[in-house]
Structure 1
Amino acid sequence: MSILRSVVTGVGGYLPETVVTNDDLSKVVDTSDDWIRERTGIRRRHRANDDQAVSDLAVEAAKKALAEAGKTPADVDLIVVATTTADLTFPAAAAIVQRKLGCPVGIAFDVQAVCSGFVYAMTVADGFVARGHSKCALVIGAETMTRLMDWTDRGTCVLFGDGAGAVVLEPGEGQGTTADRGMLGFALRCDGTKQDLLYVDGGPSTTGTVGKLRMQGNQVFKHAVINISEAVIAAAQVAGVEIKDVDWFIPHQANQRILAGVAHRLGIDESKVITTVADHANTSAASIPLALAEGVADGRIKKGDLLLMEAMGGGLTWGACVVRL
């Protein structure tokens, strides 16, 4: 029986020009290149210029994704932006992206699930595309996480960077099998009782300020490896695939030790893991689409490959999705 699937037809990524190395950070906070590398695997990160808003990063990534898909802004009827660092309290970053790209009137809104945002946004967009309500959707993960840093806290400020990644989703016919291109399955989770492990200590209805990121790193690490693995297994079961059949594992790029821990727990060979954390650091909702874009650009990821994406972020939120490119 023929069914509609949400098919990824274009991907794109954008990183700001300014690069901040570990040695650069050692001049503003008590840290060192060795200390950061040993604990996180991070060597450098990108930082947006003062005059760059998160929508600007999103637009650049979206342009690349549209070009690869052979589409123009005039084709776009749905924009979903996953971000924690929107330009303004409102309107949504997606609305600003729509204006800056010159897209026609359509649907545009943000998804806020912090580092899990892109996985959440993909499943939300799937609800439109695979049901015939969107013919050309932009799903974007974009962040300026460096704006949320407490630059006296070496445990957090060294971890994050800025960037954006985007995909174009279009409806495609499938046969309802695992051989279909497109979104095959997902699993989303949230445990609000773990809020204090990773959060920002400000907001419009509490402090009236943006606030700064706070994290209990050891606790987040413990929950990440266990919870992400469960969601990945659940998403694979929904998709009807075996973990061993996955061509590429594209995890949220939070910390090299978490990436390795989850891959080991799932029995995924290191050669199948797309890793960008060393050069991008943690770009929150942007990290998965940035890693996807890099894997496609360098030729590792090819049309027809089976992809497994996962993430965990503040909330605590976490989730996974299975997509055949």
Structure 2
Amino acid sequence: MHQAGKITSHAAITAIGSYVPERVLTNSHLEQMVETSHEWIVQRTGIVERRIAAENEYCSDLCIAAVRDLQARYGIQLDDVDYIITATSSPDTVFPSMSARVQAAFGIHGCGATDVQAACAGFVSALQLANGLLLSGMHRKILVIGAETLSKITDYTDRTTCILFGDGASAVIVERTEETGSFIASAVSTDGDSGHHLYRSALSSEISGVPITANDKIIQNGREVYKWAVTSVSSGVKRLLNAADLTTDQIDWFVPHSANLRMIESICERTGIPLERTLYSLVHYGNTSAASIPLALDLAIQDNRIRQGQQILLYGFGGGLTQAGLILRWMLP
């Protein structure tokens, strides 16, 4: 069942920064690794290339670099950040968390730190949690990060998955506002019984009684995940719009998880949101899971497509099978 509704908010995004590794893995490179072709990959996914972390570059490094970019662009001080939330499925250490690693790197004291593991819905889930913490009155300034080094957990002998995934990170500051915040409506849904269609396991050999492979790599039943996303995510987006009393015409930008361009096209067709008003980061970055939505946002900010006052619908979906949606009014000039 989908839970969707208007929300109370005293929160707004006040800064954003991003980082992607230098190494580029093109479709031509993949042609030398597995039986595939540039044309086949583009036709099926829309992906042209993806960024890959260096051998000694890890998720925490990407998080820190994205936060540094945020600081450089907005002149943001971090010493008054009172909570850090990082969404990732590919941390270099399970504990300490990536958020704790960021806290240490920037010397932020008196600060809470936790990681969110909601796969491709992670960044939106982290924003939802940040809004709740700010609304509680206990916190005023939260650093939210979406970061992945999926190349570290990708099986490059499996042509069905290795063509998809890339590495990257993006960070935002979410601050308490005295006026009504920018978060308008929220939606969540999980289909845990179908979790065996997209997973990573190093220990357990079953999910919901279904045998799985515990090789610590991403394993996906692409056909089933595609069917789930096109049907369930499309209905979730519609419920979110209805809960907000908004029509598709009132949404300036739709930012779904950048999983697959064909999937996004099908979701747009079913929801009535034009592809021309849809932002994605997959063409040059691939599927970066928890980082894909903020990377797409930042690309659009840097080329002046996103403007202050516009209404934006963010929608993450993936492993779990979990989905999370958020409608916000963009307040950054």
> Shorter-normalised TM-score: what interval?
over 0.9
Does the 8 Å contact 1:148/1:210 carry over to 2?
no
Q: Distance in 2 between matches of 1:35 and 1:102?
A: 47
What is aligned with 1:136? 141
What is aligned with 1:240? 245
Alignment of 1:165-244 (within 5 A): 165-175=170-180, 181-203=181-203, 211-244=216-249
1:269-288 CA-to-partner distances (Å, cap 9, x unmatched) read 12111122111100000000
Per-residue deviation, 1:39: 0.6
Q: Does 1:321 align with 2:331?
A: no
- Over 3 Å counting, the alpha-carbon distance change for 1:80 and 1:204 in structure 2 is farther
What is aligned with 1:293? 298
2:309 to 297, 304, 316: 304
Per-residue deviation, 1:173: 3.1
What is aligned with 1:178? none
1:132-179 CA-to-partner distances (Å, cap 9, x unmatched) read 22221111100001111111110001100000011110111335xxxx
Q: Distance in 2 between matches of 1:90 and 1:55?
A: 12
TM-score of the superposition, structure 1-length normalised? Answer: 0.93
Does the 8 Å contact 2:9/2:183 carry over to 1?
no
What is aligned with 1:90? 95
What is aligned with 2:17? 12
- Over 3 Å counting, the alpha-carbon distance change for 1:239 and 1:63 in structure 2 is farther
What is aligned with 1:33? 38
Alignment of 1:275-294 (within 5 A): 275-294=280-299
Q: Distance in 1 between matches of 2:205 and 2:114?
A: 20
Which range moves more in the overlay, 315-324 or 237-246? 237-246
Does the 8 Å contact 1:8/1:169 carry over to 2?
yes
Per-residue deviation, 1:67: 4.4
What is aligned with 2:152? 147
Does the 8 Å contact 1:156/1:213 carry over to 2?
yes
Q: Distance in 1 between matches of 2:156 and 2:285?
A: 18
- State the SS of the aligned residue for 1:241: coil
Per-residue deviation, 1:204: 8.4
Q: Distance in 2 between matches of 1:287 and 1:46?
A: 12
Does the 8 Å contact 2:280/2:293 carry over to 1?
no
Q: Distance in 1 between matches of 2:62 and 2:326?
A: 24
Alignment of 1:42-57 (within 5 A): 42-57=47-62
- Over 3 Å counting, the alpha-carbon distance change for 1:70 and 1:133 in structure 2 is farther
Q: State the Cα RMSD in Å.
A: 2.0
Per-residue deviation, 1:317: 0.7
Q: Distance in 1 between matches of 2:215 and 2:70?
A: 31
What is aligned with 2:209? none
1:303-324 CA-to-partner distances (Å, cap 9, x unmatched) read 1111101121111111211011
1:120 to 121, 125, 134: 125
User: Partner letter of residue 58 of structure 1?
Assistant: C
Q: Distance in 2 between matches of 1:77 and 1:210?
A: 37
Does the 8 Å contact 1:12/1:61 carry over to 2?
yes
Does the 8 Å contact 2:165/2:288 carry over to 1?
yes
Which range moves more in the overlay, 224-233 or 64-73? 64-73
Percent identity between the two aligned chains: 39
What is aligned with 2:3? none
Q: Does 1:62 align with 2:67?
A: yes
- Over 3 Å counting, the alpha-carbon distance change for 1:4 and 1:273 in structure 2 is closer
Q: Distance in 2 between matches of 1:23 and 1:275?
A: 22
Per-residue deviation, 1:97: 1.0
- Over 3 Å counting, the alpha-carbon distance change for 1:56 and 1:296 in structure 2 is same
1:22-46 CA-to-partner distances (Å, cap 9, x unmatched) read 0011111111111111110100000
Please list every run of 5 or more consecutive structure 2 residues that lacks an aligned counterpart in the other structure. Answer: 1-7, 207-211
Q: Distance in 2 between matches of 1:198 and 1:205?
A: 14
Q: Distance in 2 between matches of 1:27 and 1:272?
A: 35
Does the 8 Å contact 1:228/1:319 carry over to 2?
no
Q: Distance in 2 between matches of 1:270 and 1:204?
A: 40
User: Partner letter of residue 319 of structure 1?
Assistant: A
- State the SS of the aligned residue for 1:279: helix
TM-score of the superposition, structure 2-length normalised? Answer: 0.91
Does the 8 Å contact 2:9/2:131 carry over to 1?
no
Q: Distance in 1 between matches of 2:309 and 2:74?
A: 15
